[in-house]
Structure 1
Amino acid sequence: MNESRRRPRVAVVFGGKSSEHAISCVTAGSVLAAIDREAYDVVPIGIATDGRWVLESGDPERLRIEGPDKLPQVDGDRAAIALAPESASTSLVVTEPTQPPRALGEVDVVFPLLHGPWGEDGTIQGLLEMAGVRYVGAGVLASAVSMDKAYMKVVLAAAGLPVLPSTTVNRREWTRDPERCRTRADVLGYPLFVKPARGGSSMGISKVHDRSELDDAVAEALRHDPKVLVEAAAVDAREIECGVLESLDGRPQTSVPAEIRFSEEHEFYDFAAKYLPEEHTELDVPADLPDALTRQIQELSVRAFEAVGCEGLARVDFFVLPGERVVVNEINTMPGFTPTSMFPRMWAASGVDYPALVDRLIQLALQRDTGLR
């Protein structure tokens, strides 16, 4: 094939070492099924739970959730794959026992569908920057800030965006002086939420109704992250989300907002309510909001996107408190990305269907220069 006319090669990277490994696999299955194979040469790369990079099968059917005890994962026994930086490009090289290494050719863009630490937090973005490879989504700093909920709040508040009161507890503080940590939590009032500072998919999160429940909640969060966010609860709030997507000329655009409503069996939007089909969660797309409130949420979404320096895409999550007071809950630089996830559904309702969304993100990455962003 004439190299100047070949299809761009897209490496879809998924799995990873975080607790969101399975969710990343599900996301990848959807993207792999949607990428236009006439327009792109696609290489599926799985990162096993122990960190090994392998050439995956790319079969979307293998990457589905079949139940709470049947979560997909990367097959770490497959052939190893690595990025091999060269003078003017970066290639993919596959190695197998007893076989000589074989090159798959130059990679043009990486689509990192990793959720949580060691992926969504700037780590793989830094690796790709070092390798000189274009990639989809936010850069190193924006990814790291958005992943760390404590620092995200600092940045958003400094930009004048409304956030809920909170305090941060790390493992060292909790071990040395737990009573001081409890007192800081008491100041926020109850109920409150305790969550891993750099977690996602609602893993490790607890709703704490009074002080007697605090220690167990902190212990659970510390199982996922040595840094814990303790945050005031948004009582009687509506949960609203809004998607941000850059246009091909770099302008951030917003989707229609959507609302999450879950059954009384769940006190908050936990893992089961998010991902298990038998659970009762309703997604209103678009949300039933007054026009002025919709515009406010869209404006705040763009401000949050720009405050942390996002690129490509983001989902901004809000609480709408009684009296229509809006606060930013968090920003996700690589939101859930299956066709039934909120981000793609909001954009489908805004006129950008799933295959077009995937293509837009790849095109944005392809036109971006490597080097400092």
Structure 2
Amino acid sequence: MKYPVYSPHFVGKEKEYVNDCLDSTWISSKGRYIALFEDAFSQFVGVKHAASVSNGTVALHVALIALGIGPGDEVLVPTFTYIASVNSIAYTGATPVFVDSEPEFWQIDVADARRKISAKTKAIMPVHLYGQACDMVAIMELAREHNLLVVEDCAEAIGSMVEGAHVGTFGDISTFSFFGNKTITTGEGGMVVTNNDEYAEMVNRLKGQGLAANREYWHDLVGFNYRMTNICAAIGYAQLEGIGQILAKKKEIAVWYKEELVNLALNVHAEREGSVHSYWMVSILLRDKNLRDPMRRFLRENGVETRPLFHLSHEMEMYKEDISYPVAEDLSTRGMNLPSYPDLGRQDVANICALIRKFMLVEANK
């Protein structure tokens, strides 16, 4: 594939730091890069505590457990999200309660969330999709009004801001992912962040098999082996050193796409006023849903990989519902992600957009 939908971008000292791990023999879940990465990430986001974990899904799981979410509880979550958001709720024994999306920015619909609150609702999980931030001001107002815990899923939103604050700093606890296709990567990895001392302590205990705080090799709660390795942390620490360069390039790529795709029957993912869209993925909505899959096939045949927007969680067998979520259903059938990796050049984007124009011209003349 000439243009993959995503490819990691290594910015500097990844090999140097990994080789340092190998030379030191600290390759598992202990070593100096764990603390270096956690400290640097907490400073970047602007939060008191950051705990590294083995991937973004377990970050959500351990965050929910730390908040005391469990059987009998309900957690509001958008149906339009990657399935990990929903699965993590199910892992705890709690019930995911699905919420529709906003038509313009594609994030959780706060008005619909309000309608879904019941006596069992304990938390809300806003998911910052594709680099655009949720309306955290409205979500926090709703949470305060109904005494809800807030778990921000920031897997796709490193660098996304709301009113000058990084996403992940609004909720009670928040999570990030560093999978290979994320803005910065550790290969596999995640981070749990919070300003709450008790939640941070619980996350650190839970991710390390429930180890007691003051007794060596003594475990006094059921925990998990969710720790990040020193090698992964070394890669993440190097990636974070170049985060400004990566985010600037991704913003530039989004601008190029917007310039190249003008006057076509599609829309590029909008940026909410007062927020900063980090453009993890540059995503588009075709005005005719019947063209989405044929366009994807045409682009693939010409060396351009794309991804459809997420399938809806409530349509999957384990969470099947007969309830309609009209906005989410519309978005899911009309949208796709375009190649968005930082090594793309202006000419690469022009080439991709020329293929899109060619396809749409042929379709218009049928």
TM-score scaled by structure 2? Answer: 0.27
More strand by share: 1
User: TM-score, with normalisation over the residues of structure 1?
Assistant: 0.26
Higher relative contact order (CA 8 A, sep 6+): 2
